[in-house]
Structure 1
Amino acid sequence: MSIFSTLGQLLRDLAQQGGSVVEALVERVRTAFSGDRETRRRVAFSVAMIALSAKMARADGVVTPAEISAFRRIFLIPPDEIQNVFRLYSIAQQDTAGFEIYASRMRALCEEPPAEGEEGCALLVDVLDGLFHIAGADGVVHERELAFLAEVAERFGLTAVQFERIRARHVDGGEAGAYAVLGVDPSASHDEMRRRYLHLVRENHPDRLAARGVPAEFMAIATERMKAINAAWAMVGRVAVS
């Protein structure tokens, strides 16, 4: 069953409930899939991406055609499931609960230990990376969007280093941004930079993202991230050996 079909069914189950529908949906995900960790994480990721995207659009006050296009590109939605996705998006925009609830609940659902050399939950990094991609689709991450994303990162428990690395993939340019994307100091040796680059390539392979709960429908995130990582390496790799 498509992850979006699962979302649609959960939304129908909660349709008659009062209060915050998305908050209740996150709780339902936790209980309904308590014995199925993989599905629970996939559905939780989807809810977080859709709900927080909607809240970010509301915080910014403007939804551009480019952002809608990016949303559709990241969410590889089958035609017969588009209604389910945008129904949840609309509910989240109108929901009385603030984005803090969704972010905090998502953090609570994330039980994965960090990968070697990383802090926090990699799945939360994936969510924030996707939000950055949508925010920057119109060519710039606006000040209010950046403030929103910084607050989400704080609610997720991500470190300042993690946030700056994600921001650099979408905002910074030139050599400084490339070093931040790779997470290396400009004084690092070529071999150190290469090891870091290869580590990032392994960690962001689609199989690794799938293992930590990113649904197949969202693998465009991995594609966009690898473009940034490869571009960063192409820039600083040459600098390090010159």
Structure 2
Amino acid sequence: MGFWGKIIGSTIGFAMGGPFGAMLGASLGHAADEGALRGALPGGANIAAMLGSRETVFAVSVVVLSSKLAKCDGPVKRAEIDAFKTQFRIPPESMRDVGELFDRARDSSEGFESYAQRLGESFAGEPGMLEDVLTALFRVAAADGPVNRAEMEFLGAVHARLGLEPAAWERARGGRPRPDALPPRGEEGSDPYVTLGLSRTASDETVRAAWRQLMRDHHPDSLTARGMSAELVSRATGKVAEINAAWDRIKRERGL
């Protein structure tokens, strides 16, 4: 029995929060239900692509990347597994399938690069989600002590293949939230540019593009299609209202 199996009953936390964090668990559960996790290695990236499911690509990739990261600087430690289980919300009924894939990835000689590349390509239009993955991987790396050189090189390679901007690397490394993931605040006294993750010098076109992207990321219909719970969809409704309020204020200020 693998190391994972020895601690399979330990408590599962939920650190990432929000709709992106929820999708991690939903995707893992979906892929496990479909049996896609059981034969994912070797050649998992290609198998996921042939299935044509972004959920499967996501689920397989985050498990494999987490396992390979934990192994890159020596034997996998319990703290790293606990951190993985905390960062990625795994449904209890999917725990065994996920654990088996984690152990197979740990023991496989296959590289991690193709998984990061496939993940970046599949979710190129959702950089916020990819940044959340990178942030979670940093937390896994730091679970057993300061991030070392081997882990930093691994994370740098993942960052490059996810196609994220340099600012995303700095936020993930420092554990800082994305601008669009800041907690909702009331309209009074809040800065609408902060809500949209922009500076006041941003052009009209940039502001409009940021608003549209945030609406795509947080719209309840989109989250429902991804399998989000009713509670998370309800929370997203509040976020959408905040985004629209910020956009309306900026339009009024600029006379758009």
Scaled by the length of structure 1, the TM-score of the pair is 0.59
Q: 1: distance between equivalents of 2:57 and 2:227?
A: 10
Figure out how many residues of one structure are paired with residues of the other and give that number: 179
Cα distance in structure 2, aligned partners of 1:158 and 1:93:
25
After superposition, the Cα gap between the structure-2 partners of 1:76 and 1:165, relative to the gap in structure 1 and judged at 3 Å, is closer
What residue in structure 2 maps to residue 198 of structure 1?
195
1:167 aligned residue = 173
Larger C-alpha radius of gyration, 1 or 2?
Answer: 2
The correspondence of residues 94-133 of structure 1 with structure 2, limited to 5 A, is 94-112=107-125, 121-133=127-139
Equivalent residue for 2:79, pick from 44, 66, 81? 66
Identity of aligned residues (%): 30
1:32 and 1:4, CA in 2 relative to 1: closer, same or farther beyond 3 A? same
Shift of 1:153: 0.6
CA displacement, residues 1-42 of structure 1 (integer Å, 9 cap, x when unaligned): 974353361244x48xxxxx253x333333323xxxxxx333
Q: Is the Cα–Cα contact under 8 Å of residues 72 and 151 in structure 2 kept in the other structure?
A: yes
- Whether 2:79 is the aligned partner of 1:89: answer no
Structure 1 spans left out of the alignment, 5+ residues: 16-20, 34-39, 115-120, 171-177, 184-192, 220-242
Amino acid at match of 2:111: G
The corresponding residue for 1:7 is: 32
Aligned mates of 1:6, 1:145 — CA distance in 2: 27
Match of 2:48 among 16, 29, 33: 29
For 1:226, the equivalent position in structure 2 comes to none
Contact 2:80 2:141 in 1 (8 A): yes
Cα distance in 2, alignment partners of residues 141 and 157 from structure 1: 22
> Quick check: 1:7–1:84 contact (8 Å CA) kept in 2?
yes
Partner amino acid, structure 2, of 1:142: N
**2: CA distance between counterparts of 1:51 and 1:142?**
20
**8 Å CA contact retained: 1:51, 1:89:** yes
Deviation at residue 88 of structure 1 after TM alignment? 0.8
How far apart in 2 are the matches of 1:167 and 1:213? 31
